[in-house]
């Protein structure tokens, strides 16, 4: 959460570069935004509450005639959204932006106040500016930063300027993402590559406890211990066009409609249908270890957690491996039982999710084999796991995950076949699953043809304040994901529940003003799902049913509204069933007039606990 941009170079339009970067990072936080630009040894800072457009109104001529600057879009952790709490923060001639949390800021603040420092914000970030300023009394800029790093504890990415050394910018990473873009005219620094790709496709990913000293012509990476470190430049797979809306009203809608391509890209080159095999190059180095695995633990958060729950059903039913799914935010605070026969799989779109990263580190400490399913090449989880699989879904800008989710499910199908064929899965079953997986992009496209019906239903149900989302077996996690989406995007309270559990308490909520969305494909539990629908209807509840094509007339006897999805294997229905739920949430949010790309209080990537 929070977005950082920095620029230093030969061009004199630093302000424009920074503003454009903030717009591309606004999904990371939009409580407030700020910018500090330098011209010679003179600095100018602007801040505004709200979205980047409010900051843009204040800047004027300072967009140009500047060759260096830092900028920030905030998702509040310490201190409410306000101008005084917005970044950049300053002390003396030091200016900085910060993403993360300084755990010992209160202790440091008290010490600095005793030395005469006066604070103007409620944030933990301002403490770092004052600390560097304090050390600047006896040290140059670089030495002052190194000294400050010895005092602070927590997760942070920092980018800093000093008016005493106006040809230098310093950046630091520790458990919060930071990427360097190496352009022809200078360097762009950002929290993720979406703010960089319009300038260059050459990037350097920083690791934890690394510091970078920039001049307009060069950069040098050092460890926190002061040792120089060589970093290899990488080429981004994304292009600038991929990160734009391409005519769609919102990124979320664009990314929903990109799902056929996202699924196709996730499986491209990875399936050998005739042999019933999944070819996963990222697992080659650990293939023998995976044969010996006796247990799998999936760690993830939010939408990725729902993907993990679907994976649990797949891996147990078809690969025969006992599987558990844990909230990453709770995993390391238990005493997880992990050994060398356990594979711990982290699922994270960004590859930077703080809780998931901490869970992986805990698993490694206990001797487990760690794997990653991530979308961001070069991300921390991708680098720190023993092996992994990339989604190849491209940039996902909308805060609510859509195409990343279906690509995660696609990867989990491939992983299931990979591990299953190592064990007892037959050639016939492997061929059957992969052949049907190949057909899913086209089948997702077929769902979009029912868009008007889905929009009509969404508009009809936006008047309700609460809803149930119910499903069984493979579609219970999809009910959870559907409920999460409607909460995120339209702010309607919703609960995702196993439909079999409804009668064990939650049915007490059902009345004419409490509708239910029920996943009812023609699968092995269809008859039981129909029974749940009847129980709801008997109590006056309204029902929206998601069912298999050809079943509409039959289920209309039980449901008020029906959405059809194409027929597929039971284990693959989640990849289809989730699409109308995403569209329901999208259209409901739009109908209510909300910013569906940037829902309130949320950030795209949660990089602090």
Q: Tokens 């092995």 — which residue?
A: 524
Q: Are 39 and 93 in contact (CB under 8 A)?
A: no
Q: Are 131 and 90 in contact (CB under 8 A)?
A: no
Q: How many Cβ atoms from other residues are within 10 Å of residue 468's Cβ?
A: 25
- Provide the token pair at 262: 């996202």
Q: Give yes or no: 604 in active site.
A: yes
N- to C-terminal Cα distance for the chain? 10
- Provide the token pair at 101: 């949390």
416's enclosing H/E stretch is helix 403-422
Q: Are 114 and 130 in contact (CB under 8 A)?
A: no
Rounded Cα distance, 370 and 350, in Å: 17
Selected catalytic residue, list 2, 36, 301, 306 = 2
Q: Are 152 and 102 in contact (CB under 8 A)?
A: yes
Q: Tokens 């499903």 — which residue?
A: 471
CA 403 to chain CA mean position, Å:
11
Q: How many Cβ atoms from other residues are within 10 Å of residue 47's Cβ?
A: 22
Selected catalytic residue, list 51, 431, 485, 604 = 604
Phi/psi of residue 581, nearest 5 degrees: -70, -35
In 3D, which of 451, 445, 475 has the Cα closest to residue 569? 475
Q: Are 116 and 130 in contact (CB under 8 A)?
A: no
Half-sphere exposure of 147 (CA within 13 A, CB side): 16
Q: Give yes or no: 2 in active site.
A: yes
In 3D, which of 582, 558, 469 has the Cα closest to residue 515? 469
In 3D, which of 282, 316, 290 has the Cα closest to residue 387? 282
Q: Are 516 and 541 in contact (CB under 8 A)?
A: yes
Rounded Cα distance, 356 and 375, in Å: 14
- Dihedral sign, Cα of residue 79, residue 84, residue 86, residue 89: negative
Q: What DSSP letter does each residue of 296-350 carry, written as one string? A: EEEEE-HHHHHHHHHHHHHIIIII---EEEEEHHHHTTS-----TTEEEEEEESS
Q: How many Cβ atoms from other residues are within 10 Å of residue 226's Cβ?
A: 10
In 3D, which of 137, 180, 150 has the Cα closest to residue 9? 180
- Provide the token pair at 152: 């602070």
Rounded Cα distance, 478 and 480, in Å: 5
498's enclosing H/E stretch is strand 493-498
CA distances from 367 to 73, 338, 348, 370 (A): 39, 7, 21, 9
Q: What DSSP letter does each residue of 504-565 carry, written as one string? A: GTGGGG-STT--EEEE--SSTTHHHHHHHHHHHHTTT--EEEEEETT-HHHHTTT-SEEEEE
Q: How many Cβ atoms from other residues are within 10 Å of residue 424's Cβ?
A: 10
In 3D, which of 151, 153, 196 has the Cα closest to residue 178? 196
Catalytic residues, which ones?
Answer: 2, 604
């Amino acid at each position: 959460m929070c977005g950082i941009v920095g620029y230093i170079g030969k061009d004199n339009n630093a302000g424009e570069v920074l503003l454009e970067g903030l717009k591309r990072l606004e999904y990371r936080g939009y409580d407030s935004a700020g910018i500090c630009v330098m011209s010679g040894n003179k600095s100018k800072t602007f801040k505004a509450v709200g979205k980047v457009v409010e900051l843009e109104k204040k800047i004027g001529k300072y967009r140009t005639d500047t060759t260096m600057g830092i900028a920030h879009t905030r998702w509040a952790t310490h201190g409410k959204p306000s101008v005084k709490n917005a970044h950049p923060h300053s002390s003396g001639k030091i200016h900085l932006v910060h993403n993360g949390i300084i755990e010992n800021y209160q202790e440091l603040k008290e010490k600095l106040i005793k030395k005469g420092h006066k604070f103007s914000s409620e944030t933990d970030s301002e403490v770092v500016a004052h600390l560097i300023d304090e050390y600047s009394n006896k040290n140059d800029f670089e030495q002052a930063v190194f000294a400050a790093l010895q005092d602070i504890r927590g997760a942070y990415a920092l980018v800093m300027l000093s008016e005493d050394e106006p040809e230098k910018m310093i950046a630091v990473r520790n458990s919060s993402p930071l990427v360097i873009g190496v352009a022809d005219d200078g360097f762009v620094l950002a929290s993720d590559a979406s703010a960089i790709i319009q300038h260059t496709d050459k990037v350097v990913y920083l690791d934890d406890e690394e510091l970078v000293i920039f001049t307009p012509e060069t950069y040098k990476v050092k460890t926190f211990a002061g040792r120089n470190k060589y970093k290899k430049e990488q080429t981004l797979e994304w292009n600038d066009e991929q990160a734009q809306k391409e005519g769609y009203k919102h990124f979320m809608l664009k990314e929903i409609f990109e799902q056929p391509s996202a699924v196709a890209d996730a499986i491209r080159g990875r399936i050998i249908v005739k042999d019933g095999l999944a070819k996963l190059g990222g697992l080659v180095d650990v293939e023998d270890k995976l044969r010996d695995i006796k247990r799998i633990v999936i760690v993830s958060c939010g939408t990725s957690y729902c993907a993990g729950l679907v994976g649990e059903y797949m891996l147990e039913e078809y690969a025969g491996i006992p599987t558990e799914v844990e909230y990453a935010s709770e995993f390391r605070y238990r005493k997880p039982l992990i050994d060398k026969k356990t594979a711990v799989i982290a699922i994270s779109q960004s590859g930077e999710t703080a809780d998931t990263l901490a869970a992986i580190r805990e698993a490694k400490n206990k001797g487990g084999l760690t794997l990653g399913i991530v979308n961001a090449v070069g991300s921390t989880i991708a680098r720190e796991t023993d092996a992994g699989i990339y989604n190849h879904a491209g940039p996902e800008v909308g805060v609510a995950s859509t195409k990343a989710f279906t690509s995660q499910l696609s990867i989990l199908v491939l992983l299931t076949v990979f591990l299953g064929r190592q064990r007892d899965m037959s050639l016939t079953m492997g061929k059957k699953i992969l052949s049907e997986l190949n057909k899913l992009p086209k089948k997702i496209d077929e769902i979009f043809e029912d868009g008007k019906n889905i929009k009509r239903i969404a508009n009809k149900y936006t008047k309700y304040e609460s809803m149930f989302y119910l499903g069984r077996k493979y579609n219970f996690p999809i009910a959870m994901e559907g409920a999460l989406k409607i909460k995120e995007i339209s702010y309607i309270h919703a609960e995702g529940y196993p439909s079999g559990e409804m009668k064990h308490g939650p049915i007490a909520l059902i009345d004419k003003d409490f509708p239910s969305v029920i996943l009812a494909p023609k699968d092995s539990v269809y008859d039981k799902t129909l029974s749940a629908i009847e129980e709801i209807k008997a109590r006056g509840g309204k029902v929206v049913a998601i069912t298999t094509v050809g079943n509409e007339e039959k289920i209309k006897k039980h449901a008020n509204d029906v959405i059809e999805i194409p027929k597929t294997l039971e284990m693959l229905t989640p990849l289809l069933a989730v699409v109308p739920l995403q569209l329901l949430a999208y259209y409901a949010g739009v109908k209510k007039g909300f910013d569906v790309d940037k829902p309130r209080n949320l950030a795209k990537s949660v990089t602090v606990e």
